[in-house]
Amino acid sequence: MKADHAQVTRLLKTARGQIDGILKMVEEDRYCLDVSNQLMATQSILKKANRMVLRAHMDCCVREAAASGSPEEKLEELKLLLDKLTD
């Protein structure tokens, strides 16, 4: 993985902490919209981490494949990933 390990790790640990907090909120039978807001905040952090990983992949792995003259495999991987992201 070519993304900044420290930043991605920090984001993932933050998301994990938020999920622990959400589980506690559910156990305490907290207000639905409060739980939903925390879920959306966690999703936002996970999306940011994923965006960082994907950008690093494009900046490094895809760029290297293009420079070598055979980007087809990496481009196909990105197409499949885009399909997953838009489902």
Give the contacts of 7 (CB within 8 A, at least 6 positions apart).
52
Lowest model confidence (mean pLDDT) among 9-18, 26-35, 70-79: 70-79
Query: What is the pLDDT averaged over residues 4-12?
Result: 96
Give the contacts of 14 (CB within 8 A, at least 6 positions apart).
45
pLDDT above 90 covers what percent of the chain? Answer: 76
Residue, of 1 and 58, whose pLDDT is higher: 58
* pTM of the predicted protein model: 0.84
pLDDT-derived band of residue 86, with 50, 70 and 90 as boundaries? confident
**Domains annotated on the chain, with CATH:** 5-85 (1.20.58.1000)
Residue 56's Cβ-side half-sphere holds a number of Cα atoms within 13 Å equal to 13
